[in-house]
Amino acid sequence: MSQLLAGRCAFVTGATHGVGYAIALSLARAGADVVLHGLACDAQALAARDACAACGVNAHLITGDLSGPTTAAVSHVFDLATNALPDIDLFVSNAGTYADVPFLEMTVESFERTWRLNVASHFFLIQAFARRWVERQVAGRVLLIGSINGRLAEPTHSAYDTSKGAIEMMVKTLCVELAPLNIRINGLAPGLFVTPLTASALSDPRALQWMQYHTPNGVVPGPEAAGEAAVFLLSDAAHHIHGHMLMVDGGMSIWQQPDPMT
């Protein structure tokens, strides 16, 4: 990958596995120094940091639970990130969770935990970086990671799906406020990828065949597809792209109803 982000400093939340890790690694390969955030400093997190460092950039690992009380959680993670790399000018807000139950069984506690992590932490971390960038006259860039579930609903996903729908509107409304301040905000919405979280379900050949059939290009990729798209949206090549949610889903979100399988 060309050095599209050489000289940049990036912070990625939820970066120790899955889509977040793929994005962090892609940013490092594109030349950006990176701070990876995870829930714990375990072997997987350390391996993710080391893989980024092997790209020849500065790579740091911080930990923190963004699902806790928002003010304290955001302040803790923001301080750790900016202490590790004071010149962060790229922020990828990716951390999220899926912990849904059927709607009639949903509790306030479960709903609020999902929204603290999937929505509030994104909103207030962006605010913290935006304030810092405006004060320092930095042209910051933000990438919010949503999901195809922000547009296509699934049963038993009520809290998760509505939180991802909120991410897409956050991209739009924050763009309107922050673009005049030289802060560029976009979003990326993955479709179904093969990750540790989906691997067990997709190990069933019938499930994989069904997903491929319902995707126009017939592909269920690994999370590296998100990483490549993230590099583009954060690079100068996307300088006139503001407030856009890029669907990285092989076309699944635009196909109303494929013909029945034969």
pLDDT tens digits along 141-170: 999 999 888 888 888 888 899 999 999 999
* Burial class of 110 by CB neighbour count within 10 A (0 to 12, 13 to 18, 19+): middle
Statement: the pTM of the whole predicted model exceeds 0.85: yes
| pLDDT of res. 184 | 98
| pLDDT of res. 186 | 98
Residues of the chain with pLDDT under 50: none
Domains and CATH numbers, the chain: 9-192+222-247 (3.40.50.720)
| pLDDT of res. 100 | 79
